[in-house]
Amino acid sequence: MNELSKYLSSLNKDFLPLTKKIRSLGKKLKPKKQLIFIEPSRDEASELQTKYHKEYVNLMKLSTPELEKEIYDNPELVKSINSIMYNSAMTINLLDSYIWIKNNTLADNFEGIIYCIDKGLLVQSLILVRAAIEQIADVVHFSKQCDSYLNNQDPIASEILFLESLNKKTMAQRIDWNDCMSKSLRKGEKKEYKSTENFVNLKAESILNSIDYLDKKLNGIRKSYELLCEFAHPNVGPYLIYRSIRKLDTKSKLRFTEKILNNSTPSNAMELFSTHLFELYELLYEAGVIYQESNDKIKEVKKNLRSNAKDIAKTALNNWEIAWSIDEPCICLSPSRKSIGECCGKNIKRQ
């Protein structure tokens, strides 16, 4: 046990058991296998659907014979309709990706937090606690959108709103990634998405909205987050950790103190903060438990989405026969990877 661990244990005998609970929670969250799925190219689908959006709205009103007549000589429009048929199932893939990434990132954060304590790196551990709270708050806040989806009586409207929220969580960005990766970080452009560029608004949201939402469920998270920011930002946090002050007895009329900056733990300035250390890590663990509950709610949404995708697949296959062939991947995008002819289109008789 290093000096930091001994010191933290001396503050609270439950500190080391708490670190074990945090590490155990991280191991539970860590995905046990890789996530693999197939889907049409999102870039191509988005381009086609944007180009033919108005036509698609009108085509929805046509009967099958009228539809076939309208799109017969336009193979690109047929491809657009084909891509639209996969939309609902692609939402499930996006949701799976979001949760897999969040679970993996949070598990790594938890492991890093305890590793830094084991190595005596308190400031680095606190910075990772801050990062973990951001990840947790993001998912817990997203679960609010899951409530709206599950309680909405209009499944189509609710799915559109849910997809918009999910896109923000997975695709929002503060830089133009394509530009930066093709050029360099020095020459790449900073960018915020505008709603006119796609069907949904992908402007990055402030994490503080999510932090405040989590604070309503777990009082003290916002203040803890602000305190942790003092270490992640170039503020006073590290100064308090490494500084010691000692009164000096001199013959001067003024009082003198000796200030020492030392990377050994603890410093007497840290002792002022130390009573809150256990509470910080305790709040982190409690937030992790809330995160797991939010995960369960998201699983319920996924189950609902999968059922809707099956229904939509059967309707689309019946109504838009010209837009699909039996050998294509089924438009419900089931993990079984069956073709349309083997899955949702198995009992559909083609004209």
Instruction: Express each pLDDT in 19-52 by its tens digit.
Output: 999 999 999 999 999 988 887 777 766 666 666 6
328 within some domain: no
Which pair of tokens denotes residue 336? Answer: 């079984």
Q: What is the pLDDT of residue 269?
A: 53
Helices (H), 64-173: 64-71, 75-85, 87-118, 122-151, 155-171
Q: What is the pLDDT of residue 256?
A: 84
243 within some domain: no
Neighbours of 146 (CB within 10 A): 22
Q: Rounded CA gap, 159 and 211, in Å?
A: 25
Dihedral pair phi/psi, residue 256, rounded to 5°: -115, 145
The structural domain count of the chain equals 1
131 within some domain: yes
Q: 7 is in which domain, residue-wise?
A: 3-39+86-172+215-228+274-319
Q: Rounded CA gap, 29 and 19, in Å?
A: 16
Neighbours of 223 (CB within 10 A): 12
244 within some domain: no
Q: What is the pLDDT of residue 287?
A: 97
Q: What is the pLDDT of residue 54?
A: 62
Q: Rounded CA gap, 261 and 137, in Å?
A: 35
Sequence-distant (≥ 6) Cβ neighbours of residue 249 within 8 angstroms: none
Q: What is the pLDDT of residue 200?
A: 53
239 within some domain: no
Q: What is the pLDDT of residue 69?
A: 66
Low-confidence ranges of the chain (pLDDT < 50): 195-196, 198-199
Q: What is the pLDDT of residue 99?
A: 92
92 within some domain: yes
Q: What is the pLDDT of residue 58?
A: 63
Beta bridge partners of 247: 257
